[in-house]
Structure 1
């Protein structure tokens, strides 16, 4: 069981939450939701014991806690299999001791009877720990998360950032702690791994607490939602969709009650003003005045501020924006890309899809010039001004800089009034712009990184998983802005909202090749009212089909 009792936490002058009390049962599946910076990750750290609350108590009774943070903490020179075995320290220690005892018996070292007795005891303890099935558990989890058997002996340092997060997740899932705390577990998962994880967590033999902005994933897993917003923590029963429905119903009921209260207050005040000077009504006037003073005024339901911004290309490129021919790239013995050819034209919004490690990020980095190719050519249009957003862009921020200093560094000399305007669109206003980057939440850092990127003068956007760490509202606004962007986009993403919302062309990067799996007529030949994105084309196709059946 996980619990919090009158919990309070703040950072500096920012109060995250106060007087928070809840209980999470041993079989609950809980999703924690709320805007970025409200304290979701902090709550997980408090539950896990990694932070101490300012007031109240929080913790767990009985059993182990497994905590997936947003950053992988792996031993770089360990193999994947060695890293997974770290999740079973006692069983691993017994294995090592059994190897040593076996060697000593073989070499005739030590007292044979004592060694045999120790060996017997070790085998018994190993069996109690279910040690003989550990590797099978590891295999099941690694397979579900998309690892190949050939990856088992690969060093952790050789995996990409997204795959390292899968390793960290696999360690927790294989160990099966009684309480699994997962902070953004789906950020680096493709669709297949995400579906497998949802199924695995539905049948998990313990409590699961998830922080994620992926509503579809939560709908498959959670049985309870805890919302953190404006310092208040509110529980809801049911799925994520049920939470949205109930929240809307509560807000509507609260607004009806607020309006009813306003009418009642106005009625009482009219009575008071009318009879204030009438002696026979003096007692009633005083009584009603006292009642108004005691009344708890129902405030308007507060809406979380939303990111609002528009994107505009800086200048117009030639028709042919980017031409890649015969691109090949390997890392050691691992061949990632083989003879890849891409033609990107002005106005194209290209999505690169495929499994992690398939070469999407590599292709973007080659295109922008941060990674050299072994074979092939890259030719950019003369007027192209490409900008590259890395999926780990927030990690490149200087933690000791303030928000405005960090954005200023990438602004090409823009005045502070312009920087403040941009930051205001990303919900950094007033003194927020002077906060050090190191005190920001993961989502807030992503907003800073996005603001820093978008203030640069570009007309071609190369984006690697741009919606990672963004809350739902910011993600929606970003997709809308990208859909309306008048330049060219090349985006690697697992987010179906990106593909549905903006894609004019989709390429699957797999087995070293980039294969076009969705295309359209040339952008300039499409009428303004014609379907341009994957979603629009699908809806148009469904509408035509429905019309033909009538």
Structure 2
């Protein structure tokens, strides 16, 4: 077991841990959390023997093999497969001994080495390494490619493969999902759930923590506290403690009241019902656990867009790609005000290409990209961080965007992103990846876009900032399209998915749980698993045919209801606009003068009729929605 007693750890003048104690038992899978800079990575360095405690004791069983993901990957000529195999140090040692025994014709030594290879499953090592690399997104052709030919993100995957290949007793993973797409994150979760050793995992992805770990080790205020259960259990336990503090509780209630007011205003309005539903989900969760995050220093919201045209963007028969390589073909889609879309699809399918195309930073190879009048795009991608001026301050970045703005207003706004004092006025150059991401998001929000295009916005963000961003996106009034491996963000801020794959973009009927199940059906079995897919190919074809027939049946039942909704929604919008005009007229004090008596009566009668008509229309809209949901449940 790992035993930490009265541990003190200091880096420079900063005290990270003081009189901290905890015990981790063999085979436990523990998530290590805490705000950025609190000492999580330093604790890992301590466990690897790279740092020494300033006081107290840290003990790990002497025979344990400790694996971790290297931060650097040299530009090697060896293949990706050989690099992954290097993670099994005992295998490489036995192979070297076998080669030496063979060179000296030592029969006894050769036999001994073969016994060792059998004992450590050495004969299946290449198959296991291939399975790992495939799971991490590498193709067959890439297995033999030299390490030096891969980009930085793919080299990090190679380092992860090497760590997973090691037959370790203790596995230390520090943000392993940062460079992975959603599909690979799901694969990694499944792998970690089967890992037989002791796992310590630093992650800002709540779904990974919920699905993998059995305990949460919270590093807070220089102390270590171990909570049983996954991240959701940690939130509940910690919220019970924090809710006892009156000031925090009152702040939570203000957030609840803000969401509830939106729900009360819009849940019965057809044009806002989907957005109201996302607030209802947020409220259900907030009432249980918001106290965990009211300590968060991040407080911001998206400013209301200057204009909100109904049609924002349209693609007609668009091809997109790079040079001679076409990635997307014949794409037809439109983006309307209020849409909240998550893009899903395997790595390399074209999600980022689609976002660039929508953002206008990549021209179509064929077809048309049509912008609606008044379109204002807010585009975030990792390359936006590189476009920050390293010698300019956050304050200067905002002043360049809005030369007429007031400095105090800028400072107040930046404070919500934790840019105070010298951080607001100092250069960006020394900022961490998380700080640069926060600044890029702040600059985007200040511009008041009516269409947000976000490509992996949570990379480098800690849990508190991710939660603040999620809450802000839930209240955002424009259209949203997001690519993210953070499933919690996708679940709580989007209400439909577009599947990108095989050169196409199409609406995906299911939710993220359905998509996870679909991906797991597509993934090959891990070599160590005894289960083998023995289903004949003819059965799989029959299954696919049945699924296609099921989808057709669903579409046939849905179509008339969807047509009715399509006709109903413009009528609803028109009557809502007319009612707004009438009520604006009724708010005019001049209407209540004596000579306006007839006009006042006419307005009041019109208001009554419109309200009754709207109530009937909204009742029909809700009834149609319920019929659609009933069809989905009965067919699926």
Say if 1:390 and 1:254 are closer, same or farther in 2 by CA, change over 3 A.
closer
Q: Is 1:182 the equivalent of 2:173?
A: yes
Looking at structure 2, the residues matched to 72 and 382 of structure 1 have their Cα atoms a distance apart, in angstroms, of: 48
Q: Pairwise mapping of residues 434-513 of structure 1 onto structure 2 (< 5 A)?
A: 443-456=434-447, 458-503=449-494, 505-513=496-504
Looking at structure 2, the residues matched to 32 and 351 of structure 1 have their Cα atoms a distance apart, in angstroms, of: 29
Note the alpha carbon deviations across 1:108-151, whole angstroms, 9 max, x for none: xxxx7659898777656655654322112213323444544344
- TM-score, reference length from structure 2: 0.63
Q: Pairwise mapping of residues 189-208 of structure 1 onto structure 2 (< 5 A)?
A: 189=180, 193-208=184-199
Q: CA deviation at 1:350?
A: 2.8
Secondary structure of residue in 1 paired with 2:313: strand
Looking at structure 1, the residues matched to 386 and 27 of structure 2 have their Cα atoms a distance apart, in angstroms, of: 35
Unpaired stretches in structure 2, ≥5 consecutive residues: 247-290, 511-561, 577-613, 616-621
Alignment correspondent of 2:84: 84
Note the alpha carbon deviations across 1:268-300, whole angstroms, 9 max, x for none: xxxxxxxxxxxxxxxxxxxxxxxxxxxxxxxx9
Q: CA deviation at 1:364?
A: 1.4
Say if 1:364 and 1:302 are closer, same or farther in 2 by CA, change over 3 A.
closer
Q: Is 1:234 the equivalent of 2:232?
A: no
Alignment correspondent of 1:338: 329
Name whichever of 329-338 and 178-187 sits farther off.
329-338
Looking at structure 2, the residues matched to 439 and 14 of structure 1 have their Cα atoms a distance apart, in angstroms, of: 18
* Higher relative helix content: 2
Partner residue of 1:218 out of 202, 205, 209 = 209
Alignment correspondent of 1:134: 125
Alignment correspondent of 1:109: none
Q: What is the aligned-residue RMSD (CA, Å)?
A: 4.5
- TM-score, reference length from structure 1: 0.71
Say if 1:524 and 1:177 are closer, same or farther in 2 by CA, change over 3 A.
farther
Q: CA deviation at 1:236?
A: 1.9
Secondary structure of residue in 1 paired with 2:144: coil
Q: Is the 8 A contact 1:38 1:228 kept in 2?
A: yes
Q: Is the 8 A contact 1:407 1:451 kept in 2?
A: no
Say if 1:302 and 1:463 are closer, same or farther in 2 by CA, change over 3 A.
closer
Looking at structure 2, the residues matched to 254 and 488 of structure 1 have their Cα atoms a distance apart, in angstroms, of: 37
Note the alpha carbon deviations across 1:84-127, whole angstroms, 9 max, x for none: 1332356457768988999xxxxxxxxx7659898777656655
Say if 1:213 and 1:346 are closer, same or farther in 2 by CA, change over 3 A.
same
Q: Is the 8 A contact 2:20 2:222 kept in 1?
A: no
Name whichever of 473-482 and 431-440 sits farther off.
431-440
Say if 1:356 and 1:10 are closer, same or farther in 2 by CA, change over 3 A.
farther
Looking at structure 2, the residues matched to 326 and 51 of structure 1 have their Cα atoms a distance apart, in angstroms, of: 58
Number of aligned residues: 485
Secondary structure of residue in 1 paired with 2:346: coil
Name whichever of 74-83 and 344-353 sits farther off.
74-83
Alignment correspondent of 1:404: 394
Alignment correspondent of 1:68: 69
Unpaired stretches in structure 1, ≥5 consecutive residues: 103-111, 256-299, 531-536
Alignment correspondent of 1:35: 35
Alignment correspondent of 1:353: 344
Q: Pairwise mapping of residues 12-411 of structure 1 onto structure 2 (< 5 A)?
A: 14-51=14-51, 55-56=55-56, 58=58, 60-62=60-62, 63-68=64-69, 73=73, 75=75, 79-88=79-88, 91-92=91-92, 130-154=121-145, 164-189=155-180, 193-251=184-242, 304-312=295-303, 315-316=306-307, 318-329=309-320, 336-371=327-362, 374-381=365-372, 383-391=374-382, 393=384, 404=394, 407-408=397-398, 411=401
Say if 1:462 and 1:252 are closer, same or farther in 2 by CA, change over 3 A.
closer
Looking at structure 2, the residues matched to 421 and 376 of structure 1 have their Cα atoms a distance apart, in angstroms, of: 44
Looking at structure 2, the residues matched to 502 and 252 of structure 1 have their Cα atoms a distance apart, in angstroms, of: 26
Secondary structure of residue in 2 paired with 1:134: helix
Secondary structure of residue in 1 paired with 2:491: helix
